[in-house]
Amino acid sequence: MPEAQHDVSHWTDEAICEVVNKRFNLGACLLQIEITRWIYAGKNIVTCTLTGFSKALSFWIPMLMAKADGLKHQKIILISLLNVLTQQNVESLEKAGFCVVLLIGETCSSDQLQIIKKGEYDVIISNPKILMGKKAVQELLGKPSVASLILKVVLDEGHTFDQWADFCLQFRHIGDLWYTIPGDIPFYLTSTTLPPDILQNVNEVLNLCENNTKYLLYSNDCPDINLMVHPLTAPANSFEDLGFIIPKGITEDSPLPPKFLIFVNSIADTVKAMLFLWMLLPTEGLKNCVLWFNSAMTPQF
């Protein structure tokens, strides 16, 4: 488990803000600075923050500090699960002048792994299926010459390492990275959804405990969001209770309903829910406004 690695006493708030502004043309807030200090000192950290906190910036600040201090280990592994967020991270890093590799199924070639081995990338963005499911990747991360370049491992959307583990076993074994990567590499897990039961499960998955981890947990209550409960009047698998979303008698000339996002618990149900809503829409044009989105979709789709 990680122990303090670097002296952070010379990194004042002003010094941290200066390196961030110089590279990203952004300011760093006090919470981002606090997270940065704990990580740079070699501590595991778990955060729960509001949506819109700009947590991604806190991923990269320790790398800026390591570069400024001339440290050997400057590389970051980001475990990211959502394609949209992954692409945003790639674009923002490349815009700031960093070398980034997106290590996924289509790009996980032997040539790419050789480039990573040479230390040519500042940030490696991947997912549990690649990191835990590809023997060649695990062998690469297990090399002391590669591990010695790694500053930290970031786990974005941390609640998924518990909630998605039932249908993707690699999520449940992501904590094995402790034993794959030699040395005391700190983990930084962040989420906007970490109730006590999920937090406990995540701690177990990652082998985290209080004596080696700093927890910064804040409420994600939003005053402009209200919860409402609608009791089901029809069988859940009929999806008929979603009918209120589509105005009755809607036509091509009608105002569109407010934008909506429906979460369900399986890939099959994303399609079933969409097919039900399509039944309420009279034209192909309106049906094209309602689509499903799930992890079985290809990037091209």
Q: Concatenated DSSP letters for the chain?
A: -----S--TT--HHHHHHHHHHHHS----HHHHHHHHHHHTT-EEEEE--TTS-HHHHHHHHHHHHHHHT-S--EEEEE---HHHHHHHHHHHHHTT--EEE-STTT--HHHHHHHHTT--SEEEE-HHHHHH-HHHHHHHTSHHHHTTEEEEEESSTTHHHHTTTT-HHHHTGGGHHHHS-S---EEEEES---HHHHHHHHHHHT--GGGEEEEE-----TT--------SS-GGGTGGGGGGSPTT--TTSPPPPP-----SSHHHHHHHHHHHHHT--SHHHHTT-----TTS-S--
Q: Are residues 156 and 82 in the same domain?
A: yes
Greater confidence (14 vs 105) lies with 14
Q: Are residues 175 and 204 in the same domain?
A: yes
Q: Are residues 81 and 137 in the same domain?
A: yes
Mean pLDDT of all residues in 168-186: 85
Q: Is residue 143 part of a domain?
A: yes
CATH number at residue 89: 3.40.50.300
The number of folded domains in the chain is 2
User: Which amino acid is it at 192?
Assistant: T
Q: Is residue 25 part of a domain?
A: yes
* Confidence tier at 157 by pLDDT (50, 70, 90): confident
pLDDT confidence of residue 3 = 44
Q: Are residues 141 and 41 in the same domain?
A: yes
Q: Is residue 292 part of a domain?
A: no
Q: Are residues 206 and 254 in the same domain?
A: no
Q: Are residues 127 and 272 in the same domain?
A: no
Which one of 217, 250, 267 terminates a domain?
217
Q: Are residues 49 and 152 in the same domain?
A: yes
Q: Is residue 280 part of a domain?
A: yes
Q: Are residues 119 and 200 in the same domain?
A: yes
Q: Are residues 111 and 151 in the same domain?
A: yes
Mind listing the pLDDT tens digit for each residue in 31-80?
999 999 999 999 999 999 887 778 899 999 999 999 999 998 899 999 98
Q: Are residues 174 and 240 in the same domain?
A: no
Q: Which residues form the domain of 78? A: 13-217
Task: Using CA atoms of 254, 260, 263, 267 in order, give the dihedral in degrees to the nearest 10.
Answer: 50
C-alpha–C-alpha distance, residues 71 and 151, integer Å = 9
Greater confidence (91 vs 5) lies with 91
Mean pLDDT of all residues in 128-155: 93
Q: Is residue 3 part of a domain?
A: no
